[in-house]
Chain A
Amino acid sequence: MVLLQLLGVFALLSVLAVGGGTAILPEMKALTVTQFGWLTPDQFRDIYSLGQLAPGPNMLMVSVIGYHVHGYAGALLAFVGFFLPCSLITLATTRIWDYFKDSPWRLAVQRGMAPVVVGLMGAGIVAIAHTAIINWITVLIAAAVFAVLYYGRKMNPAILILVGGVAGFILLR
């Protein structure tokens, strides 16, 4: 039963992910933490952080949520649920895409959805910040990473993520 719920929850998130990974974080947190009670808010933050430490899209961490709920079978179903629907939609749509290439509505969709996606990404930040920003040290870590990436010179964010982990190890015991 819980396996079917896992599959359903992540399949729903899959088709809703029109704004990418960050945009579905509030919904993912609401479903896995509040509605089904599979994780505590802190566990959700920890698993999200694990995703930042691995290469590739950080949303691969959905498998860890599945593992947390129901072992390796849970991990597999969360992965399949999250990636199969959107991949099938993409596979089917990429072949008919050219039929729409001259539609004036394509630009309207692109232009109209852009601010909605930015708003959803903002909500995604709020969802993570809610449990990740817990004291002034975490505020400083977030502000420092933001300042370097936004105002500083171009560098790989992975280095700053690791520095954040080391800072946490030293300052957040």
Chain B
Amino acid sequence: MSDLPSGETNETVTATVAAPVRVPLWEIFWTFLVIGGTSFGGGVVAYLRNGLVTKKGWLDDEGFLAALEISQALPGLNATNMSVIVGDRLRGPIGAVVAFLGMTLPGSALVMILGVVYAANHHNQAIISVLKGVGAASVGLLLAVTLQIGHKQLEHALDISLVVLTLVLVSIFHVSLVIVLLTVGPLAIYLYRPHPARELKPDKTVFDKKGGE
């Protein structure tokens, strides 16, 4: 998944996603509802691939990767951006709305129930102790996910410098994210600017999965 030349993954997206038959809106909704309701523990991308490519055949692997690349390059979460892109390709904007609602409804309903219970009991020691345990476990989970998808950015001096610079600016100097994205972002892109004498190899590892969503 990480070594596909990106030039090849893109061309086919329109052709492969266009379904031969009109997929009913309820089927789009139901498919995303199942994905949204069963994808516990993060890593929604794996559930999306299983549901959309393996089970439904709405996209092939290349079409899926092409849609994923768009999701990752744009602001927003992979899971919801994917639902918008695939829903739109299947049935236009109304398909995007239906897919998005399916994706977010189960998790939103459950997290709201938990949130209301929490708000009414946030002095309850038992509930707080459970959430403290979950919070600590989340730190371990985030660390594992970040290292899994970011280990290639921790191998070369230039990459490491950019990782450390970003981390230090945000965590130690508390520089606002807007400023970081508007300064370090263009600097990083400039450092990797297209150069005729140097061929950049695509590295999609970090974009395979945005962690901890």
Binding site for B on A (CB under 8 A): 12, 14-24, 26-27, 30, 43, 45-61, 63-64, 67-68, 75, 79, 83, 85-87, 89-91, 93-95, 97-98, 101-102, 104-129, 131-134, 137-139, 141-147, 149-150, 156-161, 163-169, 171-173
Binding site for A on B (CB under 8 A): 6-7, 10-11, 13-14, 36-44, 67, 70-81, 84-85, 88-89, 93, 96, 100, 103-104, 106-108, 110-112, 114-116, 118-119, 122, 125-126, 128-150, 152-154, 158-160, 162-167, 170-171, 174, 176-178, 180-181, 184-185, 188-194, 200, 202-207, 210-213
Assess the A60–B93 pair: CB atoms within 8 A.
no
Assess the A63–B37 pair: CB atoms within 8 A.
no
Assess the B76–A54 pair: CB atoms within 8 A.
no
Q: How far is the CA of A113 from the CA of B184 in the complex (A)?
A: 9
Give the A-B pair count, Cβ closer than 8 A: 410
A90-B70 contact in complex given A60-B111, A107-B202, A111-B203, C-beta closer than 8 Å: yes
The majority secondary structure among interface residues of chain B is helix
- List chain B residues, Cβ under 8 A from A145: 136-137, 139-141, 144
5 residue pairs of the A-B complex, CB under 8 angstroms, read A18-B74, A55-B37, A79-B104, A91-B93, A115-B166
A20-B139 contact in complex given A59-B77, A101-B7, C-beta closer than 8 Å: no
Given contacts A56-B103, A90-B76, A142-B140, 10 further A-B contacts (CB under 8 A): A50-B131, A52-B42, A54-B110, A60-B108, A116-B181, A120-B177, A142-B139, A157-B41, A165-B130, A169-B129
Assess the A131–B135 pair: CB atoms within 8 A.
yes
A61-B115 contact in complex given A26-B170, A119-B166, A125-B146, C-beta closer than 8 Å: yes
Pick the residue among A14, A75, A97, A138 that contacts B132 (CB under 8 A): A138
- List chain A residues, Cβ under 8 A from B67: 94
Which 6 A-B residue pairs are closest in the complex by CB-CB distance?
A: A168-B133, A164-B137, A20-B210, A119-B166, A56-B107, A86-B76
Assess the A56–B39 pair: CB atoms within 8 A.
yes
Residue of B nearest to A21 (CB): B213
- List chain A residues, Cβ under 8 A from B128: 46
Assess the A133–B74 pair: CB atoms within 8 A.
no
Pick the residue among B79, B129, B131, B204 that contacts A45 (CB under 8 A): B131
A52-B134 contact in complex given A57-B107, A67-B112, C-beta closer than 8 Å: yes
Assess the B104–A168 pair: CB atoms within 8 A.
no
Assess the B165–A119 pair: CB atoms within 8 A.
yes
Assess the A114–B74 pair: CB atoms within 8 A.
no
